[in-house]
Structure 1
Amino acid sequence: MKTKMLLAGLLFLQGLTAQKVDLDRFSFSVAYRDLPRQPIDSGYHTYAFQLQTGPLMRVAREQARGTETLYIEGWMGVVDGADIAVSLVMEDLVVTKSAIAEREEVKKDKEGKIISARRFYAPVLTYYYAARMELRDRQGRTLQSRQLVTRNQSFQYTGPEKSSRAEVSGLMMNSFDLTGPLSYSVVTKTIRDLSVDLTNSYGYAERRISDQVWVLDSRQHPEYEAFRQHWGNVKNGLILLQPDVPLDDVKRSIASDITYFESLPDKYSGRSKADRKLRYAAYYMLAKIHYYLDNPGLSATAATSLVLNDYDSRDGKYLEAAALELMEIFRINKRHSRHFPLYFDGMAATNQ
Structure 2
Amino acid sequence: MDRAYASYAYTSLPTAPLPAEYKTFNVSAVMNSSTTNISASEIEDRANIAGFQKLEKTAKADLSVYLKFGDFMIDGAEVKERVDIVKDKAGKETSRKYYYWTVITYSFSGSMRLANNVMGKDLQNNVLQSASSKFTHSSQEYVSRAEAAGYWNNNKETIKSQLLTDAVKGRIDHANSVLTSAYGYRQSKYSYLIWFQGEKKHPEFELNNKMIEQLKASALLIKANQPITPAIKESFKPVIDYFNDVKARFNKDEKADKKMRYSAYFNLGFIYVMLEDYDNARIEADGLFANDYDKKDSKDIIKEIDYAQGQMKTNNMTTRHFVNLRVPADML
TM over 0.5: yes
User: Which of 137, 162, 176 is residue 157 of structure 1 equivalent to?
Assistant: 137
Q: State the shift of 1:219 in Å.
A: 7.3
Residue number in structure 2 paired with 1:47: 25
Q: State the shift of 1:304 in Å.
A: 2.1
**Cα deviation 1:256-315 (Å, max 9, x = unaligned):** 432443354455555333443332122111111111122233222211221122111111
**Cα deviation 1:91-148 (Å, max 9, x = unaligned):** 2133333323457899xxxxx998xx897664x3323322221212222232222222
Following the alignment from structure 2 to structure 1, what is the Cα–Cα distance between the partners of residues 306 and 234?
Answer: 24
- Tell me how large the CA RMSD over aligned residues is: 3.8
Amino acid aligned to 2:125: S
- Answer yes or no: is 1:125 the counterpart of 2:104: yes
User: Which of 257, 269, 272 is residue 290 of structure 1 equivalent to?
Assistant: 272
In structure 2, relative to structure 1, the CA distance for the partners of 1:229 and 1:276 (3 Å cut) is same
**Cα deviation 1:225-271 (Å, max 9, x = unaligned):** 65454444333222222222221121122234324433544555553
User: Which of 71, 76, 79 is residue 97 of structure 1 equivalent to?
Assistant: 76
**2:38 match: secondary structure:** helix
Amino acid aligned to 1:50: S
Q: Tell me, which stretches of 5 or more residues in structure 2 are unaligned? A: 86-92
**1:30 match: secondary structure:** strand
Give 1 or 2 for the bigger CA radius of gyration: 1
Identity level (%): 24
In structure 2, relative to structure 1, the CA distance for the partners of 1:63 and 1:225 (3 Å cut) is closer
Residue number in structure 1 paired with 2:124: 144
**Cα deviation 1:308-334 (Å, max 9, x = unaligned):** 221111111122112111111121122
Residue number in structure 2 paired with 1:255: 237
Residue number in structure 1 paired with 2:166: 185
Following the alignment from structure 1 to structure 2, what is the Cα–Cα distance between the partners of residues 209 and 190?
Answer: 25
Following the alignment from structure 2 to structure 1, what is the Cα–Cα distance between the partners of residues 98 and 33?
Answer: 40
Q: Tell me, which stretches of 5 or more residues in structure 1 are unaligned? A: 1-22, 107-111, 348-352
Following the alignment from structure 1 to structure 2, what is the Cα–Cα distance between the partners of residues 157 and 220?
Answer: 53
In structure 2, relative to structure 1, the CA distance for the partners of 1:41 and 1:231 (3 Å cut) is same
Following the alignment from structure 2 to structure 1, what is the Cα–Cα distance between the partners of residues 134 and 125?
Answer: 22
- Answer yes or no: is 1:306 the counterpart of 2:293: no
Residue number in structure 1 paired with 2:89: none
Residue number in structure 1 paired with 2:255: 273
Following the alignment from structure 2 to structure 1, what is the Cα–Cα distance between the partners of residues 217 and 133?
Answer: 51
Aligned residues: 318
TM-score, normalising length: structure 2 = 0.78
TM-score, normalising length: structure 1 = 0.74
